[in-house]
Structure 1
């Protein structure tokens, strides 16, 4: 739990409606909290596969014959499950976003609290880092990123300021970036605005929204007839995609109707959206923006 305090632990695993002999997938292994909870409910014939591309998370591997940890991005969920002879599963759990460990390890560059290299790579093998983005993206690319992923209204001004500043010297660390944008960070809103800027860079570095889309599109073919999808998201961009895909099977537009006016959405929601209790938020502040959505095949 010191690596990552899992949010909505009981609720998200309850959502999977676990069968003792079922096959389940935890696509965001992290500290292994959700995986351990799933394993505690499985019988001897049950199986659990987990994904995590972060080498730090892979150190938390669980020694259990029913468990397999796959050190890859969960956008490749179907491909790697097929490698293990698995075509269908009874449940998939995703706890999106950044783990507590990634935020707390200064050198990973995820947090605004530390003066560290602007890294933000969840996959340490990736060539694209936060530093590379800030120092090589065009003004237009930076502006689009800050507007779309950080939802910052002054994205153009921020991008122009970054480009002008890096012309003088390379922007290497989180504090370098903070210094460059200081005049746009009023004391009362500094933390919120910085969080939006860092979120935008992190999403771009890790292609988080593209990964989520690719993952969701594979779920209808992957789930058994009464299988469940349990997804915890932490910001509106993720939650919007999850909610929309569960409702329509699409990420934009509306589903086409057939001759009789029927649509063919692959999933249906189970129950209402679940949020953490006040007690959980008090114990774990990072739970405050979490939203859990559950779906099954239609």
Structure 2
């Protein structure tokens, strides 16, 4: 049985100008996630626990199943150049999920503290301002139009469970799981159902083409004071069609991402219509 669930989110586009250039790495979301958490913790500790961490106490109904739940944000940095240059403007997309949207109008002091002294080159940026996108209301059973053939391209590595090669059934099951848990924790939704019905439904998807290659991502964990290698994958699929039940899941992924590290921009994908 597939459990229906709903969710809403709002994206804020934060703008900064580079004042001190340097090397920052290709996938910058991890660094900006660290700055987001650091600013929250220093300026408003209660918001840090509300917006940044979701650690579960042993008394929580899920406390024995998981130590930490999903977090109500996604940070995505479209620019993937390894260096930033003086005068360059950067756009950082911060998506607030569910109840976290209530803080959207209060966060400018947090944003002003971000972007200073980051990366091994100690890059500095200056805050310019924020643009706010409309709230998106999403439901897992909403009929949504989509044209085919549909190509799904991963723009940042998808860090799969155990580093396994991506499969279509894993894409669908992981998407349903991620969206279901976000709904449960931040939109008062029901607990997600079993993954198997979603895997079975994914078996009906006609795949025209697909190609993936390993793309390990190295990041430095300030908390653990060491480098970590995430076993990610880059690649694409082209689908001739999708079951209607899967369409809402796929349409949510370009914003919310998939897999480990989705909160800081891993597993970001792009949808396009055309031949393989």
TM-score by length of 2: 0.31
Q: Which has the higher helix share?
A: 1
Q: Which has the higher strand share?
A: 2
Q: Which structure is richer in relative contact order (CA contacts within 8 A, separation 6 or more)? A: 2
